Amino acid sequence: MASLGSTVTGKVISLLTAAPGAFAAAQIRAQNVSPELSEKNDLIQYPTVLVYCEKVVNSLKEKFRSFSGTVEVAIEIRHSQDRLEGLQDALEGYADAAAGALDAARGDWGNGMFYGGGYEVAFAGVKKGGKNFIQVAKVTLEIGVSRS
């Protein structure tokens, strides 16, 4: 199952980097780490995008498959700047870019993966961090997977 989560995460990253006006490859990481830890250990370029698998569910909807279920993926977009003004607007723009890339990717992703097009976006409150203030948007989506 771990490789399934990595496979889906890699596919989402390739979709985000391929979409015009979305994100550069240097801004995206396949990692689930708190902002506090990432700022202590890395040089961060904002906005930064973290893509990771949150949950794998083998519900065995298809009786004779070894895996038939869903993989839940999170796209966490972090933006930081020195002033509060415009922070929320900028973050919403980045979340819209991610949503646009997902909207364009509905359908069969190959290798037994299918994306129906649904997603949820949640915005966290502004915190101290980054360049002075940091805010996070989290986009979650489910990918259907069917494998023998």
The pLDDT assigned to 68 comes to: 95
Q: Per-residue pLDDT averaged across 125-132, rounded?
A: 91
Cα–Cα dist 111/105, whole Å? 15
The pLDDT assigned to 110 comes to: 95
The pLDDT assigned to 124 comes to: 97
User: If one looks up domain 2-147 in CATH, what number appears?
Assistant: 3.30.2000.30
Domain locations in the chain? 2-147
Whether the per-residue pLDDT at 28 is higher than 60: the answer is yes
pTM score, two decimals? 0.93
Q: How high does pLDDT run on average in the chain?
A: 93
The pLDDT assigned to 38 comes to: 81
Residue 1's pLDDT band (boundaries 50, 70, 90)? low
Residue 16 φ/ψ, nearest 5 degrees: -70, -40
Residue 58 φ/ψ, nearest 5 degrees: -95, 90
Strand segments (E) across 2-96: 28-29, 48-57, 67-81
pLDDT tens for 41-84 read 777 889 999 999 999 999 998 989 999 999 999 999 999 999 99
